[in-house]
Amino acid sequence: MHLVWPAAQYLPGYIDALQRGWSPDNLRPEAAQEELARIADDPDAFLALEIDRAGAGPPVVLPDGSKVARLPGYRRWLWDGEFCGAIGFRWQPGTTDLPPHCLGHIGYSVVPWKRRRGYATKALELLLIEARQENLAYVELTTDVSNVGSQHVITTNGGVCVERFFKPAAYGGAESFRYRIYFIPPAR
Protein backbone atom coordinates (compact mmCIF):
# COMPACT_ATOMS: atom_id res chain seq x y z
CA MET A 1 0.00 0.00 0.00
CA HIS A 2 1.21 3.49 -0.80
CA LEU A 3 -0.23 6.99 -0.92
CA VAL A 4 -1.21 8.60 -4.21
CA TRP A 5 -2.29 12.13 -5.02
CA PRO A 6 -5.94 12.22 -6.04
CA ALA A 7 -5.98 12.04 -9.84
CA ALA A 8 -8.28 11.07 -12.70
CA GLN A 9 -6.67 7.65 -13.07
CA TYR A 10 -7.67 6.73 -9.49
CA LEU A 11 -11.09 8.41 -9.52
CA PRO A 12 -13.08 5.33 -10.66
CA GLY A 13 -11.89 3.45 -7.56
CA TYR A 14 -12.82 6.38 -5.33
CA ILE A 15 -16.28 6.56 -6.91
CA ASP A 16 -16.75 2.80 -6.48
CA ALA A 17 -15.93 3.06 -2.77
CA LEU A 18 -18.43 5.90 -2.32
CA GLN A 19 -21.10 3.94 -4.18
CA ARG A 20 -20.43 0.91 -1.97
CA GLY A 21 -21.24 2.95 1.16
CA TRP A 22 -17.81 4.13 2.33
CA SER A 23 -17.53 7.78 3.36
CA PRO A 24 -14.31 9.76 3.79
CA ASP A 25 -16.05 11.55 6.67
CA ASN A 26 -16.70 9.09 9.50
CA LEU A 27 -18.98 11.60 11.23
CA ARG A 28 -21.07 12.48 8.18
CA PRO A 29 -22.00 9.39 6.15
CA GLU A 30 -24.04 11.64 3.84
CA ALA A 31 -20.74 13.16 2.71
CA ALA A 32 -20.39 10.20 0.32
CA GLN A 33 -23.46 11.27 -1.65
CA GLU A 34 -22.32 14.89 -1.59
CA GLU A 35 -18.94 13.91 -3.01
CA LEU A 36 -20.54 11.76 -5.72
CA ALA A 37 -22.64 14.77 -6.74
CA ARG A 38 -19.57 17.04 -6.84
CA ILE A 39 -17.67 14.49 -8.94
CA ALA A 40 -20.59 14.13 -11.36
CA ASP A 41 -20.85 17.91 -11.64
CA ASP A 42 -17.13 18.59 -12.28
CA PRO A 43 -14.55 15.83 -11.70
CA ASP A 44 -11.60 18.16 -12.36
CA ALA A 45 -12.82 20.69 -9.79
CA PHE A 46 -13.38 17.87 -7.29
CA LEU A 47 -9.83 16.59 -7.74
CA ALA A 48 -8.39 20.12 -7.49
CA LEU A 49 -10.13 20.64 -4.14
CA GLU A 50 -8.57 17.46 -2.73
CA ILE A 51 -5.27 19.37 -2.73
CA ASP A 52 -6.01 22.84 -1.32
CA ARG A 53 -2.79 23.99 0.32
CA ALA A 54 -4.09 27.58 0.40
CA GLY A 55 -7.43 26.78 2.05
CA ALA A 56 -9.15 28.68 -0.75
CA GLY A 57 -11.97 26.19 -1.34
CA PRO A 58 -15.57 26.49 -0.19
CA PRO A 59 -16.51 26.28 3.49
CA VAL A 60 -16.42 22.91 5.24
CA VAL A 61 -19.71 21.45 6.47
CA LEU A 62 -19.51 20.27 10.09
CA PRO A 63 -21.47 17.25 11.37
CA ASP A 64 -24.22 19.55 12.71
CA GLY A 65 -24.63 21.16 9.27
CA SER A 66 -22.91 24.43 10.16
CA LYS A 67 -20.19 25.75 7.87
CA VAL A 68 -16.70 27.00 8.71
CA ALA A 69 -13.80 28.38 6.70
CA ARG A 70 -11.61 25.75 5.05
CA LEU A 71 -8.10 25.29 6.43
CA PRO A 72 -5.12 24.69 4.14
CA GLY A 73 -4.80 20.99 3.60
CA TYR A 74 -4.93 18.02 1.31
CA ARG A 75 -5.99 14.41 1.07
CA ARG A 76 -3.91 11.50 -0.10
CA TRP A 77 -5.55 8.30 -1.25
CA LEU A 78 -4.47 4.84 -0.10
CA TRP A 79 -3.72 2.59 -3.06
CA ASP A 80 -2.70 -1.08 -3.31
CA GLY A 81 -3.63 -1.52 -6.96
CA GLU A 82 -7.13 -0.35 -6.08
CA PHE A 83 -8.60 2.34 -3.85
CA CYS A 84 -8.26 1.59 -0.12
CA GLY A 85 -9.17 4.79 1.71
CA ALA A 86 -8.09 8.36 2.36
CA ILE A 87 -5.94 10.29 4.81
CA GLY A 88 -6.16 14.03 5.19
CA PHE A 89 -3.90 16.67 6.67
CA ARG A 90 -4.92 20.22 7.60
CA TRP A 91 -3.15 23.01 9.46
CA GLN A 92 -3.01 26.74 10.12
CA PRO A 93 0.14 28.35 8.70
CA GLY A 94 2.55 29.60 11.33
CA THR A 95 1.02 27.80 14.29
CA THR A 96 0.40 24.31 15.61
CA ASP A 97 -2.93 25.50 17.03
CA LEU A 98 -6.18 24.54 15.35
CA PRO A 99 -9.51 26.36 15.52
CA PRO A 100 -11.99 24.87 18.03
CA HIS A 101 -14.10 23.27 15.28
CA CYS A 102 -11.13 21.22 14.02
CA LEU A 103 -10.47 18.21 16.25
CA GLY A 104 -7.13 17.24 14.73
CA HIS A 105 -4.54 17.82 12.04
CA ILE A 106 -4.92 14.36 10.53
CA GLY A 107 -7.90 12.15 9.83
CA TYR A 108 -8.08 8.86 7.98
CA SER A 109 -10.56 6.25 6.86
CA VAL A 110 -9.98 2.83 5.28
CA VAL A 111 -12.71 1.19 3.21
CA PRO A 112 -14.31 -1.68 5.19
CA TRP A 113 -13.16 -4.38 2.76
CA LYS A 114 -9.48 -3.37 3.22
CA ARG A 115 -9.37 -3.02 7.02
CA ARG A 116 -7.16 -5.02 9.39
CA ARG A 117 -4.25 -5.08 6.93
CA GLY A 118 -2.15 -2.34 8.54
CA TYR A 119 -3.08 0.20 5.87
CA ALA A 120 -4.07 2.99 8.27
CA THR A 121 -0.84 2.53 10.23
CA LYS A 122 1.25 2.70 7.06
CA ALA A 123 -0.73 5.66 5.66
CA LEU A 124 -0.17 7.64 8.86
CA GLU A 125 3.53 6.76 8.84
CA LEU A 126 3.86 8.04 5.27
CA LEU A 127 1.80 11.17 5.85
CA LEU A 128 3.86 12.12 8.91
CA ILE A 129 6.92 12.40 6.65
CA GLU A 130 5.08 15.06 4.64
CA ALA A 131 3.52 16.76 7.67
CA ARG A 132 6.95 17.41 9.19
CA GLN A 133 7.62 19.79 6.29
CA GLU A 134 5.02 22.29 7.60
CA ASN A 135 7.26 23.26 10.55
CA LEU A 136 4.76 22.22 13.21
CA ALA A 137 5.94 21.18 16.67
CA TYR A 138 3.42 18.33 16.62
CA VAL A 139 0.23 17.10 15.03
CA GLU A 140 -2.92 16.15 16.90
CA LEU A 141 -5.30 13.29 16.17
CA THR A 142 -8.45 12.34 18.03
CA THR A 143 -10.30 9.07 18.30
CA ASP A 144 -13.26 7.81 20.26
CA VAL A 145 -12.45 5.92 23.45
CA SER A 146 -14.17 2.87 21.93
CA ASN A 147 -12.00 2.90 18.76
CA VAL A 148 -9.14 0.70 19.93
CA GLY A 149 -7.97 0.06 16.36
CA SER A 150 -7.41 3.76 15.70
CA GLN A 151 -5.67 4.17 19.06
CA HIS A 152 -3.26 1.43 18.00
CA VAL A 153 -2.62 3.13 14.64
CA ILE A 154 -1.75 6.38 16.41
CA THR A 155 0.42 4.94 19.20
CA THR A 156 2.31 2.75 16.72
CA ASN A 157 3.26 5.99 14.97
CA GLY A 158 4.51 7.63 18.17
CA GLY A 159 1.27 9.17 19.40
CA VAL A 160 1.06 10.16 23.05
CA CYS A 161 -2.34 10.57 24.67
CA VAL A 162 -2.53 14.11 26.07
CA GLU A 163 -6.21 14.38 26.94
CA ARG A 164 -9.41 12.47 27.52
CA PHE A 165 -12.37 14.69 26.63
CA PHE A 166 -15.89 14.77 25.25
CA LYS A 167 -16.23 15.96 21.67
CA PRO A 168 -18.43 19.00 21.17
CA ALA A 169 -22.11 18.21 20.54
CA ALA A 170 -21.63 19.12 16.85
CA TYR A 171 -19.34 16.06 16.63
CA GLY A 172 -21.64 13.70 18.50
CA GLY A 173 -20.33 14.32 22.02
CA ALA A 174 -18.50 10.98 22.27
CA GLU A 175 -15.85 10.46 24.91
CA SER A 176 -12.54 10.69 23.06
CA PHE A 177 -8.78 10.75 23.33
CA ARG A 178 -6.56 13.49 21.93
CA TYR A 179 -3.11 12.31 20.86
CA ARG A 180 -0.05 14.24 19.83
CA ILE A 181 2.76 13.06 17.63
CA TYR A 182 5.70 15.35 18.36
CA PHE A 183 8.12 16.53 15.69
CA ILE A 184 9.92 18.78 18.16
CA PRO A 185 10.23 17.38 21.70
CA PRO A 186 8.04 19.30 24.18
CA ALA A 187 9.80 21.68 26.58
CA ARG A 188 10.25 20.29 30.04
Give a yes or no: residue 6 inside a domain: yes
pLDDT (0 to 100) of residue 187: 67
Question: Is 67 buried (19+), middle (13-18) or exposed (0-12) by CB count in 10 A?
Answer: exposed
Q: In 3-state terms, what secondary structure has residue 132? A: helix
Give a yes or no: residue 157 inside a domain: no
Give kind and range of the element (H or E) at residue 151: helix 148-156
Domain that residue 55 falls in: 2-136
Query: 22 pLDDT exceeds 90?
Result: yes
Predicted confidence (pLDDT) per residue in 100-129, tens digit: 889 999 999 999 999 999 999 999 999 999
Give a yes or no: residue 159 inside a domain: no
Give a yes or no: residue 24 inside a domain: yes
Give a yes or no: residue 37 inside a domain: yes
How many domains, in total, are found in the chain? 1
Query: 27 pLDDT exceeds 80?
Result: no
The CATH number for 73's domain is 3.40.630
Q: Of the ranges 54-68, 81-95, 103-117, which one carries the lowest mean pLDDT score?
A: 54-68
Query: 188 pLDDT exceeds 70?
Result: no
CA distance 74 to 12: 19
Instruction: For residue 146, give every residue at least 6 positions away whose Cβ sits within 8 Å of its Cβ, in sequence order, or none.
Output: 174
| 30 pLDDT tier (thresholds 50, 70, 90) | confident
